[in-house]
Structure 1
Amino acid sequence: MAFMAQPWKHPSGIYYIRRRIPDDIKPILARGDFYKVSLQTRVPAEAKTRFAAEWSNSDQLFDTARVQLRDGVQLSAKDAVQLAARWAYRERDAMEQTGNFSSWLVDHGSRFEPLGGTIDGRRGVNALLEDPLWLLFLETVIADELPRYNQPPAPKDSAAFRPMLEAFAAQAQHLSKMAFDRSEHDHVTPLHAPAVAPLSFEAQRNAAPLLSRFFEDWKTYVLKIGSNGRDVTKRVAEYGGTIKVFIELYGDHPLTSVTRMTASAFGSDLLRMPTGGAGRRALTARQLIAKAEAEGLPTLSRLTVKNRLMALSALLSHAVRLGIVTENAVTASGVTGELSKAASKAGRTAPRKHYTRPELRQIFSSPVFQRTWTPPRASFGEAWYWIPLLLCYTGARREEIAQLKADEIQCSEEGVWYLDLLSTPDEDGDEDDQRTLKTAGSHRKIPLHPDLIELGFLQYAERLPQTGPLFPSLEANHAGYYGHNFGKRWSAYLKSVAQLDTRVRPSHGFRHTFITLCREQGVPEELRDALTGHDNGAVSRKYGERALLPQLLEQLNKLPSIAREAGLLPVAAT
């Protein structure tokens, strides 16, 4: 797992970006080993936001340094004049705010004079540059100014350095002249300096990039500072698909052309996109919409469209932080909020998400659990039998079960057998689990229901190499999900073999079913959350320690014996 870059906290409490300078550009940056800039805040949340922008700035600085090493300094004579003018305006503001004009004047004891006295223009500039003290002062000013604009130091022997010296010397003269006027009570005569205008590299940088280009930059940034784990990779791939659809619908335009109206129109068009269908990969977004309308195909739900819009929103938020656009058109349009409200309203009458007891009996009395069925294609070994049972009796996510190791079936000091689960999200999302803590490395312990033990689960686990996987026949897909291929075949099995006619999601439906059964049996919410891995912000995360496993097992024992109802175990004598 790659290191996740974070703001660095100085002992003073101020956060900084502290980044190692690549070896190839150290000679031109002359900053030592690290690039370090204050984020000017002690608030962690603010530091993270500013950190993202400063990281991008440092990327630009490093890229500029490489160009200058390869091609020489790129600053033009116009840039030199503009840099000097910006510096002069800041010095003027400071002078007028403090009223200290004498620092820019020559003190002759009985009177003050501007720099060079009456000498002005080229002669005055040359006079300043021939003075060793003034030359050192101007060199220091230039060295301080360039980093303000993410420009590396300009070598003194470069073609760009002499024009900068002359431009700053000329502005130093104008500042001194203005200081003299102010000391003589003339507060009207302005500073003689050109108006602020974009620098050549700013004009190039501020030209809004095309959406496709900016997505590639955003992807590089996210993968660089993120964990590079499968969750980040999956999110980047999903966002890329949405951006591809956007470009197919509206073209690859600059970010600045993405308006509130565009965001709203995108949401409307996504609602017309079909949810699936053979041959869809060969069709463009417009063709898919036409196909859906012509054939009456089911289209994306409001909640799905809202989630798709978050891809565009993420890019625009990043662009706002970098100063490329002034607002996030998706959030400003209110389209995601409207979709959320509509989805919430529709959800009041939405189809159920859990299996009914008759459906559970139909599933677990089907051929795979009677050991009378052989898969026609992929053979996943005992995963066919145990994964659905474990999902039903634990409420865990499919991937949490699929990635289990044999030695993660453990027994507590009190004699309670349990699963030591590594909490992780499912590949197909967990949209209903808004409170779920999905942090890699977060463990929870779920007691094994007595039915699983009676069915022989412990004996199955004990026969396996203890350092290996619990389901050796499962292989991770390209994104690293062990349950992906099984989930596809399980869905097909339920339809074609178990003859189950339901809209409940094949694997995730067990999770909803477990929660529903817990509610029906009066399992306290905090204990239910501890079993399912929810974090409600209260005390549920304190549960699941080994000392509390007996209490969790007591709650599990309240649940109905699905295995007995399906005929997998004998009905207990009354």
Structure 2
Amino acid sequence: MAGRVRNLLNRDGRYFARLVIPKELRPYMEGKTELRTALGPDYRTALKALPGAVATLQHKIALGERRAVQAGERSITTGRYPLSPPQIAIRDYQAQLTFDEDIRANHHQYASFDVGYEEGRPFRDGYSGKLSDDQLELLVGDRIERYRTLGNHAAPKGSAEWRQIARALCVSSYEALARRGERNEGDFTGSPSHPVLTITQPAEDEREPVSLKGLLADYLNERAADGKGREARKRWSPVFANLSKFIGHDDARRLTKQNVLEWKDANLKVLASKTVSDVYLTSVRTVLKWAVNNDRLETNVAENVRIKVSKKQRSREQGFTTDEAVAILKLARDYQPKHSDNPRTREAPQTTAAKRWSPILCAHTGARIAEITQLRKQDFRYEKNIPVVRIAPDAGSVKAGNYRDVPLHQQLVDLGFMEFVDDAPDGPLFYPASKKKVGSLPARTVAGRVSEWLQAQKVIPEGVSPSHGWRHRFKTVGREVGIADRTLDAIQGHAGRTAGDAYGDVTIAAKASAIGQMPRYEY
């Protein structure tokens, strides 16, 4: 599938060039959050007009930045990273070729756009010296201003240096047009011929580095302000440490697409392709996209680095059969830990409780195992004589991010679970309480112990997850007895399938009625 073209927006069949305005500049740009330029309904025309439209929008943002500087609200040191006019031209030439490659890699129509003589004529006139300052400003003024805001020069319009930069940018544009025409014919070997680009040595990138780990921390802090990202912090931090170690530095500005490709291939040798795709590449792609949207980076080099993960072939149903479920539940109900006189080897009472109750709770609620092992005494209550458990993010981790109330099946009550809750001390039911804020780690550790124990007892069939097998079974049995999918989703914490599912609420009474339809396990 073709990738998304950066800065190109499609709204109801019409195309726009779009740039997000940095938050600190919005008061100086009439409070707007973004800028758009209409490019019309034709995709080919829009794609061809996009670079120029984006450049114009960048110029408007640069003017907003200038107003902010004049108001004393935004400090930028012009000329902080000085480049000569030829060095600016080299950077501009390389940026245009990179933009060309990104579009060409994702949209085959782009290669059919002709590059005509008249398209390059203004740039030839520009670098030959035929154009006035005003004409040069119309032609390349937006880019002159962009390199000024980057700190590469401080030349005022009309000065000799300003004209040198303008003429150099005309060279870079003309040469980039020539490469585009060559590439349309399948020739990617072309190189510039003008001495402005061939004689001058490119400047070293002297901009301050942008820490990869720092970007991750800032992204997660923004998510945390909205009450999200707790699991991402734990799972993604080792990923970014791994990436920094692999490339030998922590500077996101120096990260290249080739770096990401090589890192991906190296990890595929030691990790499952799904892990590399869903955790490693997804985390880097997400954070770099955030950095681009927040003007911390110019490009997301990981945007198009992906892995096609084949679905596993199944040889049986995903959930437990009735006989398999009964065997597990009987084992859990009758579980007794091995006796030990040594306190160091003796099983903690919370672990014993987890092995007994968590499989039974999973069977009757369809919840995830970590959602069960993180439960606390205060998460249970009675509502109109109905025992209810609240599965909430503040207890540890909830995948969907929202709380949900689940009425308890009468069989759980008959087994004495509510008496177990009443007799338990305040705090977590299945691991020792701690004053430290440790998130979901203890609950996941206990969940892992329960899974290992069940697998060691040889009651988990091959091809079925010890915990997710209950979620699949709960949904299957619920459908068999005629419970609506929306009600099952509300009980299990699954997202709705349509926009209409977000309207109205599935009440505790409705859930209790559904739970009451679920059959008892005979064991």
The 1-side partners of 2:234 and 2:354 are apart by: 28
Query: 1:92 maps to what in 2?
Result: 134
Query: 2:289 maps to what in 1?
Result: 317
Structure 2 residue 361 is the aligned partner of structure 1 residue 390: yes
1:234-263 deviations in whole A, cap 9, x for unaligned? 424433433444456565597577665655
Equivalences for residues 419-438 of structure 1 within 5 A = 419-422=389-392, 438=400
In structure 2, do the counterparts of structure 1 residues 218 and 446 end up closer, same or farther at CA, with 3 Å as the change threshold? same
User: How far apart are 1:503 and its partner, in Å?
Assistant: 4.5
Equivalences for residues 462-501 of structure 1 within 5 A = 462-464=422-424, 468-471=427-430, 473=432, 478-497=438-457, 500-501=460-461
User: How far apart are 1:364 and its partner, in Å?
Assistant: 1.7
Structure 2 residue 419 is the aligned partner of structure 1 residue 459: yes
The 2-side partners of 1:205 and 1:228 are apart by: 34
Verify the 8 A CA contact 2:405 2:491 in the aligned structure 1: yes
Give the SS at the match of 1:529: helix
1:438-495 deviations in whole A, cap 9, x for unaligned? 22xx332211111011112222333346x64455635588444441221122122213
Verify the 8 A CA contact 2:291 2:297 in the aligned structure 1: yes
1:145-178 deviations in whole A, cap 9, x for unaligned? 9998388xxxxxxxxxxx98xx75xx6788xxxx
Verify the 8 A CA contact 1:16 1:39 in the aligned structure 2: no
Verify the 8 A CA contact 1:409 1:417 in the aligned structure 2: yes
Query: 1:332 maps to what in 2?
Result: 304
The 1-side partners of 2:472 and 2:134 are apart by: 67
The 2-side partners of 1:351 and 1:147 are apart by: 61
Verify the 8 A CA contact 2:389 2:408 in the aligned structure 1: yes
In structure 2, do the counterparts of structure 1 residues 37 and 482 end up closer, same or farther at CA, with 3 Å as the change threshold? farther
The 1-side partners of 2:162 and 2:418 are apart by: 87
User: How far apart are 1:525 and its partner, in Å?
Assistant: 0.8
User: How far apart are 1:522 and its partner, in Å?
Assistant: 2.8
The 2-side partners of 1:426 and 1:355 are apart by: 27
In structure 2, do the counterparts of structure 1 residues 540 and 308 end up closer, same or farther at CA, with 3 Å as the change threshold? same
User: How far apart are 1:502 and its partner, in Å?
Assistant: 3.7
Verify the 8 A CA contact 1:354 1:504 in the aligned structure 2: yes
Verify the 8 A CA contact 2:373 2:444 in the aligned structure 1: no
Query: 1:520 maps to what in 2?
Result: 480
The 1-side partners of 2:358 and 2:433 are apart by: 11
Verify the 8 A CA contact 1:402 1:471 in the aligned structure 2: yes
The 1-side partners of 2:159 and 2:245 are apart by: 57
Give the SS at the match of 2:388: strand
In structure 2, do the counterparts of structure 1 residues 353 and 241 end up closer, same or farther at CA, with 3 Å as the change threshold? farther
Verify the 8 A CA contact 2:430 2:446 in the aligned structure 1: no
In structure 2, do the counterparts of structure 1 residues 463 and 540 end up closer, same or farther at CA, with 3 Å as the change threshold? farther
Give the SS at the match of 1:483: helix
Q: 2:388 aligns with which of 380, 405, 418?
A: 418
Query: 2:333 maps to what in 1?
Result: 369
In structure 2, do the counterparts of structure 1 residues 501 and 378 end up closer, same or farther at CA, with 3 Å as the change threshold? farther
Verify the 8 A CA contact 2:21 2:34 in the aligned structure 1: no
1:82-119 deviations in whole A, cap 9, x for unaligned? 9xxxxxx998369989xxxxxxxxxxxxxxxxxxxxxx
The 2-side partners of 1:301 and 1:372 are apart by: 39
Verify the 8 A CA contact 2:404 2:493 in the aligned structure 1: yes
In structure 2, do the counterparts of structure 1 residues 219 and 250 end up closer, same or farther at CA, with 3 Å as the change threshold? closer
* 1:457 partner letter: F
User: How far apart are 1:39 and its partner, in Å?
Assistant: 8.7
Structure 2 residue 206 is the aligned partner of structure 1 residue 218: no
Query: 1:357 maps to what in 2?
Result: 322
Q: TM-score with structure 2 length normalisation?
A: 0.57
The 2-side partners of 1:44 and 1:377 are apart by: 62
* 1:193 partner letter: R
* 1:358 partner letter: D
In structure 2, do the counterparts of structure 1 residues 512 and 77 end up closer, same or farther at CA, with 3 Å as the change threshold? closer
Verify the 8 A CA contact 1:271 1:305 in the aligned structure 2: no
Equivalences for residues 52-67 of structure 1 within 5 A = none
The 1-side partners of 2:245 and 2:303 are apart by: 22
* 1:382 partner letter: A
1:50-72 deviations in whole A, cap 9, x for unaligned? 9xxx9xx99xx99xx9xx99xxx
User: How far apart are 1:362 and its partner, in Å?
Assistant: 1.9
* 1:272 partner letter: K
Verify the 8 A CA contact 1:242 1:308 in the aligned structure 2: yes
Structure 2 residue 514 is the aligned partner of structure 1 residue 555: yes
Query: 1:118 maps to what in 2?
Result: none
Query: 1:443 maps to what in 2?
Result: 403
Query: 1:195 maps to what in 2?
Result: 165
Give the SS at the match of 1:557: helix
Give the SS at the match of 2:453: helix
- Name the stretch that deviates more: 306-315 or 317-326: 317-326
Query: 2:108 maps to what in 1?
Result: none
User: How far apart are 1:505 and its partner, in Å?
Assistant: 2.9
Query: 1:242 maps to what in 2?
Result: 239
Equivalences for residues 99-118 of structure 1 within 5 A = none
Give the SS at the match of 1:446: strand
In structure 2, do the counterparts of structure 1 residues 310 and 559 end up closer, same or farther at CA, with 3 Å as the change threshold? same
Verify the 8 A CA contact 1:17 1:36 in the aligned structure 2: no
C-alpha RMSD over aligned residues: 5.2
1:484-519 deviations in whole A, cap 9, x for unaligned? 221122122213346545453333332232222223
Verify the 8 A CA contact 2:215 2:291 in the aligned structure 1: no
In structure 2, do the counterparts of structure 1 residues 412 and 269 end up closer, same or farther at CA, with 3 Å as the change threshold? same
The 1-side partners of 2:329 and 2:162 are apart by: 87
Structure 2 residue 446 is the aligned partner of structure 1 residue 404: no
State the number of aligned residues.
382
In structure 2, do the counterparts of structure 1 residues 456 and 233 end up closer, same or farther at CA, with 3 Å as the change threshold? closer
* 1:370 partner letter: D
Verify the 8 A CA contact 1:395 1:514 in the aligned structure 2: yes
Q: Rg larger in 1 or in 2?
A: 1
Verify the 8 A CA contact 2:366 2:492 in the aligned structure 1: yes
Equivalences for residues 44-55 of structure 1 within 5 A = none
Q: TM-score with structure 1 length normalisation?
A: 0.52
The 2-side partners of 1:362 and 1:44 are apart by: 62
The 2-side partners of 1:320 and 1:409 are apart by: 44
Q: Percent identity?
A: 18
1:397-429 deviations in whole A, cap 9, x for unaligned? 23433343434323333x3322232158986x9
Verify the 8 A CA contact 2:26 2:33 in the aligned structure 1: no
Equivalences for residues 247-326 of structure 1 within 5 A = 251-252=248-249, 263-274=260-271, 300-302=272-274, 305-318=277-290, 320-321=292-293, 322=295, 324-326=297-299
Verify the 8 A CA contact 2:365 2:406 in the aligned structure 1: yes
The 1-side partners of 2:36 and 2:366 are apart by: 34
Verify the 8 A CA contact 2:320 2:469 in the aligned structure 1: yes
The 1-side partners of 2:36 and 2:472 are apart by: 34
